[in-house]
């Protein structure tokens, strides 16, 4: 989780790019994420699909959302320093 003071500045996107790079280099083909309804759309931007969700799975009002991201090929990884189109 990115500290609220630093959200919407590209930190999360850069962390995801690093995760994809490291996971692919280690030979992984997918990443599984357990998050909440508050962050699932962030991960969906990177291709995450919901595997299952559980109301109140993290506690009252905090739903658990399990997601999976199939890793892109190394040639299509996000470059956080390249302007997005």
Tokens 């280099």 sit on residue: 25
Band of residue 2 on the pLDDT scale cut at 50, 70, 90: confident
Per-residue pLDDT of 26-61, as tens digits, reads 999 999 999 999 999 999 999 999 999 999 999 999
Q: What is the mean pLDDT of residues 1-8?
A: 88
Residue 65 in tokens: 């959302």
CA distance linking residue 6 with residue 60, whole number of Å? 27
Cβ-Cβ contacts under 8 Å for 42 (sequence gap 6 or more): 12, 35
Q: How does residue 73 score in pLDDT terms, banded at 50, 70 and 90?
A: low
Structure pTM? 0.77
Is pLDDT above 80 for 74?
Answer: no
């Amino acid at each position: 989780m990115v500290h609220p003071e630093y959200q919407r500045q590209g930190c999360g996107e850069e962390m995801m790019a690093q995760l994809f790079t490291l996971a692919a280099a280690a030979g992984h083909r997918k990443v599984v994420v357990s998050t909440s309804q508050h962050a699932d759309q962030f991960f969906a931007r990177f291709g995450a699909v919901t595997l299952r969700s559980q109301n109140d799975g993290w506690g009252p009002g905090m739903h658990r959302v399990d997601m999976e991201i199939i890793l892109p090929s190394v040639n299509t990884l996000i470059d956080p320093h390249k302007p997005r189109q």
